[in-house]
Homo-oligomer: A and B are copies of this chain.
């Protein structure tokens, strides 16, 4: 496959996509939902082939589970497409309108980014989800799924192309890549691809970030902290730590390091040890911690490790400053929470922790696009540019300035024959 030629085709189609009306895009989404339903048997059959081959190739059981695409997962995917139809069109929103002068109007209007490259691991449901998010936001997309899901991904892509072509969308807007060599080639197309979204393990994401000049949206690590302050409600703190650590350990917003103020460390850590034993969480601690509870020593490496497991590192700190310093040194800018009844301490924490999600008296597990009410989630970003934290459809958008005049030239303003007014306008861009 010539990936540069393919990306050029997608880019050509993407230029058209930006001008599609909301109606056409929503019709296309509805058509995708319909055809996914109609082709259920074909999709499940393709998935059976993938499953059979992958079992033969001894794919690990958790990956097999992700690969499996049954009626329930298909229904979930279709429901997702239908809820996307109900969201407002993110393209063409007027974000700023200014009358520069009589008859000279400036509008900042949202538009698609252009071409998105998405690389995801085994789950075929991710293919439909990301392709439809790109369609709603007017972006072309190059998709690369796990090789183990190839048959399923081919059928799903075919259905999506067919359905969207029926309502008049240029067929080249979405393309499926099939090999690792294709991905390497895709990562080189920084002239054609505007954004890469990798979905998968943190090693995988870091690999992508290290091997492309195209901007990457995502997060490699999720090293999240909970700081239990001297003035914390200790019962609340316990509840929050348990939820943050154990509600789902394999996710990026699960807790990895607990910071405890020295003043309340004694009683709190003893209770915590008891509770964590019930959840079979292995504890590792700093020297001070180990004088209170008998646990293994945490090394420097622990502070910068995302366990994604029933494992928690604990450090006693002498004050908020030490906690802030620890988080800003070892954290990954993902999600950090403080438990305290002291409003001033909470305010300091929220403004001084340099992370995308900073919480006061709440579990780290809340940082999520659906829980935040965004309706659709593109991913979670630990970058500070463009989009940070849970990213909804707006992460797939850029904007352009539209200036509408009547023949105005700059010479007149430089010669002071005319002067700028810069009056805010309360209207939408005309196009």
Interface string of A349-386 (1 = CB under 8 A from B): 01110111111111101110001110000000000111
In the bound complex, what is the Cα–Cα distance between A15 and B384 (angstroms)? 14
Q: Does A195 touch B at the CB level, under 8 Å?
A: yes
Q: How far is the CB of A94 from chain B (nearest CB, A)?
A: 13
Knowing A18-B351, A431-B350, say if A356 contacts B389 (CB, 8 Å): no
Which residues from B are CB-within-8-Å of A182? none
In the bound complex, what is the Cα–Cα distance between A385 and B213 (angstroms)? 13
In the bound complex, what is the Cα–Cα distance between A359 and B401 (angstroms)? 8
A243 engages B351 (CB within 8 Å): no
Q: Kindly specify which of A77-85, A126-134, A404-412 makes contact with the partner chain.
A: A404-412
In the bound complex, what is the Cα–Cα distance between A413 and B414 (angstroms)? 61
Nearest B residue (CB) for A108: B389
- Interface residues in A89-143 (C-beta closer than 8 Å to B): 98, 100, 104, 106, 108, 111, 113-114
A362 engages B243 (CB within 8 Å): no
B362 engages A403 (CB within 8 Å): yes
Instruction: Please pick, from B348, B373, B414, the residue contacting A422 in the complex, using a CB distance under 8 A.
Output: B373
Which residues from B are CB-within-8-Å of A410? 243, 247, 363, 365-366, 371
A19 engages B413 (CB within 8 Å): no
- Interface residues in A394-431 (C-beta closer than 8 Å to B): 398-411, 413-414, 420, 422, 430-431
B357 engages A400 (CB within 8 Å): yes
In the bound complex, what is the Cα–Cα distance between A64 and B12 (angstroms)? 46
Q: Kindly specify which of A26-34, A233-241, A297-305 makes contact with the partner chain.
A: A233-241
Nearest B residue (CB) for A365: B410
Which residues from B are CB-within-8-Å of A365? 409-410
Q: Please classify the interface of chain A as helix (H, G, I), strand (E, B), loop, or mixed, using the class held by over half of its residues.
A: mixed
Which residues from B are CB-within-8-Å of A233? 407
Q: Does A261 touch B at the CB level, under 8 Å?
A: no
Knowing A233-B407, A243-B409, say if A388 contacts B400 (CB, 8 Å): yes
Which residues from B are CB-within-8-Å of A151? none
Q: Does A215 touch B at the CB level, under 8 Å?
A: yes
A113 engages B385 (CB within 8 Å): yes
How many copies of the shown chain assemble into the complex?
2
B347 engages A430 (CB within 8 Å): yes
Give the interface size bracket for A toward B.
Answer: 35 or more
B403 engages A366 (CB within 8 Å): yes
Q: Does A328 touch B at the CB level, under 8 Å?
A: yes
A400 engages B100 (CB within 8 Å): no
B247 engages A328 (CB within 8 Å): no
Q: How far is the CB of A139 from chain B (nearest CB, A)?
A: 11
In the bound complex, what is the Cα–Cα distance between A406 and B343 (angstroms)? 12
18 A-B pairs (CB sep. < 8 Å)? A18-B352, A98-B373, A100-B371, A104-B366, A194-B385, A242-B409, A247-B414, A346-B404, A358-B401, A359-B405, A360-B402, A361-B405, A361-B406, A363-B410, A385-B386, A388-B399, A389-B401, A390-B401
Report A's interface with B, CB cutoff 8 A: 15-16, 18-19, 98, 100, 104, 106, 108, 111, 113-114, 194-195, 215, 233, 236, 239-240, 242-244, 247, 324, 328, 339, 346-348, 350-352, 354-363, 365-367, 371-373, 384-386, 388-390, 398-411, 413-414, 420, 422, 430-431
| Extra inter-chain contacts (10) besides given A18-B354, A362-B409, CB under 8 Å | A16-B352, A104-B362, A106-B372, A106-B373, A114-B384, A242-B409, A247-B414, A350-B402, A356-B400, A362-B403
